[in-house]
Amino acid sequence: EKAHKLVETLNIDAEVFPLSELANHNSKFDFIISCTGSKEIVLSLEKFQKISPNNTKSVIVDLAVPNDCDIKISENENVKLINVDQLKVRAEENLQARGEEINRCLDIIERQIIKYYIAEKERNLERALSSVPKSIKGIRQKAFREVFAKELETLDPGAIEVVNSLVDYIEKKYISVPMKMAKDILLKETTK
């Protein structure tokens, strides 16, 4: 009754018959699906050889616990016997593979979190130090306009150009060196 319902539900062209007729069955088949509540082997090697005298390729799916099908049937190279034990092993292998993939994903996430954390620290440092260039430029302007204004007036254009180049160089170094040092310190602290 359940087998008929399964064939109807799956909408497949399959022949269904009682187990008692199995040994008398001689039609060609591709699949056998077995799932009884029997405590004994239902499909022995001898019965299988009777129903498959031409030794054609076939797949047997044994979903019963204990097994309905004799494991010796799988020794036939034209038969693929799939039972619950094999499915259990395969499921465990799949779970293990998934676990390994989860660990790889966790490693990737951890690396990305560290990269984000470092980038965030660098950005916060850049914000904190953003006033440094402005302050140094302000010092330069005050030096040229107020502190050394009289001395600069006495210089010829070539000398003023040298002074400007010198101050430009020093200004850039006073801006870049502390920022680079601060970033290096931050990176060392972050990677500890």
- Answer whether residue 99 is part of any domain: no
Residue 113 in any domain: the answer is no
CATH classification at residue 40: 3.40.50.720
Q: Note if the bond before 66 is cis, omega within 30 degrees.
A: yes
Domain span at residue 42? 2-83
pTM over 0.85: no
69: how many CB neighbours lie within 10 A of its CB? Answer: 24
Q: Given strand 31-34, what is the order of strands in its sheet?
A: 31-34, 58-62, 79-83
Please tell me the total count of domains within the chain.
Answer: 2
What are the phi and psi torsion angles at 17 (to 5°)?
-150, 160
Q: Quick: pLDDT tens for 135-180.
A: 888 988 999 899 999 998 899 999 999 999 999 998 888 888 877 8
Give the model's pLDDT for residue 22.
Answer: 74
Q: Which residue has the higher pLDDT, 57 or 28?
A: 57
Residues 76 and 134 in one domain: no
Q: Indicate the DSSP class of residue 172.
A: H
Residues 70 and 142 in one domain: no
Give the residue from 83, 105, 140 where a domain finishes. Answer: 83
